[in-house]
Amino acid sequence: MSQQYDLIVVGGGIAGYHTALSARETNPDLRVLILSADRETTCSAPCLPDYIAGHIPRKNVFVAREETFREKGIHLSLGERVVSADPEKHTVTTDRERTLRYGALVLATGSEPIRLRRMEGTALPGNHVLKRVTDADALAKAPARRAVVVGTGAIGLEGASSLKERGVEEVTLVEALEWINPKCFDRAASDYMKKAFADIGVHVLTGEAITAVEGVDRVTGVRTEKRSIPCDLVLWGIGMRPVTDLAASMGVCLSKSGGIEVDAFMRTNLPDVYAVGDCTEPYDEFYQRPMANMLWRTATEQGTFVGTYLAGGDVPEEGYEGGKLLFLTYVGDAPACSYGYTEGALKGKRYTVLEDRQEDSYRKVLLQNHKIVGFQMVNTLEGANELYAQIRKGATVDLKGTDREEFIRFPEKYFAMSAYLRQMKM
């Protein structure tokens, strides 16, 4: 006789944790089980760079200890991987040869770092990724003097800062594209970020792809199209891919880009099978279509939504409002933030650019048909919350007769701007 649970959650990351937590908080009678392939409890990945840098102790990266799960009445099995599922029988089978029955199944299987296995030298010791606490342990302990960090997404940017702060003497950040993170920033913002990196002693190379990792027994350098860079550590931050092997094997529909397709209630195409977090491709509230998101807040919100929904709690009638691709990272102490369209994304369309270039900080707002459609900031967050809120509301603004410089340089005029926007009755 297989054990029966009202809700089985596959994956003990933040999305799985919030699913289980909100289900139990909504209905304490539910039998809820989390099966997690990881041996450690839920950790805060955004805190891992701080741990590597030595700013916080290891214990502070965990969101909850095992006792917390027990106190909340959540059954938790660590180090137990679900290897198959039978949606008709409503069962999952694990690598401990246990078969368990579910009322509802939530796939929260997350994401994995992309690895360039076919590139020469990538299997040598000294190659690292950053996803789990154990990856951060390895980076924090690595006796490296020179590091190369590849890629300028959040992991590359924060990884480079944290290794430098940890005491690695030479850190070089390498990006194959023309400037830093073109998905979120235009060239000018990238130039300010390069300056912020230079201030903390990190060298940035853009428009230069890694072609091989050098070394015999372990990493001694990387080769790019233009040069060799000696190093004893390479951190690969070239993106994440959704973990969907279990979903695919049970017949769950995947999107073209590989994430699990879900509707506004996190339902997949199979009855009683839901999915949340990095493994999904949720509807995005800005772009108004499904988009890979892979951000903490979205994983947390999706988990909270589906846990509450499955336990019979109150959720909005129209479902989850959607993912939010708000990008916020730090170069040393300097924040870099973006939301909405970049100029790159608006290429070929008519739009207005407002820019505020100070010596150390940068702000840019993009407008299209009087609508605020994007912003980027480096080394300042003044006005970011307000702009974000106004974009989410679909706010419009008529710049005629407005002092554009006043508009963009909100520090203390930031409230004036929000009053101004309110006046405009968007």
Ligand X SMILES: Cc1cc2nc3c(=O)[nH]c(=O)nc-3n(C[C@H](O)[C@H](O)[C@H](O)COP(=O)(O)OP(=O)(O)OC[C@H]3O[C@@H](n4cnc5c(N)ncnc54)[C@H](O)[C@@H]3O)c2cc1C
Residues near ligand X (CB under 6 A): 10-16, 35-38, 45-46, 48, 81-82, 108-111, 130-131, 154-155, 243, 246, 277-278, 294-297, 299
Nearer to ligand X, 84 or 211 (CB): 84
Nearer to ligand X, 131 or 404 (CB): 131
Residue, CB closest to ligand X: 110
Residue 1: exposure state from Cβ atoms within 10 A (0-12, 13-18, ≥19): exposed
CB of 46 to ligand X, least distance (A): 4
Nearer to ligand X, 162 or 418 (CB): 162
CB of 383 to ligand X, least distance (A): 20
Distance CA 23, CA 272 (A): 15
CB of 159 to ligand X, least distance (A): 7
Nearer to ligand X, 35 or 315 (CB): 35
Residues 6+ apart with CB under 8 A from 187: 178, 179
Nearer to ligand X, 321 or 403 (CB): 321
Q: What is the 3-state secondary structure (H, E, C) of the chain?
A: CCEEEEEEEECCCHHHHHHHHHHHHHCCCCCEEEEECCCCCCECHHHHHHHHHCCCCHHHHECCCHHHHHHCCEEEEECCCEEEEECCCCEEEECCCCEEEEEEEEECCCEEECCCCCCCCCCCCCEECCCCHHHHHHHHHCCCCEEEEECCCHHHHHHHHHHHHHCCCEEEEEECCCCCCCCCCCHHHHHHHHHHHHHCCEEEEECCCEEEEECCCCCCEEEECCCEEECCEEEECCCEEECCHHHHHCCCCECCCCCEECCCCCECCCCCEEECHHHEECEECCCCEECCCCCHHHHHHHHHHHHHHHCCCCCCCCCCCCECCCEEEEECCEEEEEEECCCCCCCCCCCEEEEEECCCCEEEEEEECCEEEEEEEECCCCCHHHHHHHHHHCCECCCCCCCHHHHHCCCCCHHHHHHHHHHCCC
CB of 357 to ligand X, least distance (A): 26
CB of 328 to ligand X, least distance (A): 6
Nearer to ligand X, 76 or 421 (CB): 76
Nearer to ligand X, 249 or 402 (CB): 249
CB of 389 to ligand X, least distance (A): 18
CB of 248 to ligand X, least distance (A): 11
Nearer to ligand X, 268 or 418 (CB): 268
Q: Which of 7, 2, 6, 4 is nearest to 303 (CA)?
A: 7
- φ/ψ region of 176 (left if φ > 0, alpha if ψ in -120 to 50, else beta) reads alpha
CB of 113 to ligand X, least distance (A): 8
CB of 20 to ligand X, least distance (A): 11
Nearer to ligand X, 294 or 378 (CB): 294
CB of 124 to ligand X, least distance (A): 22
Nearer to ligand X, 230 or 335 (CB): 335
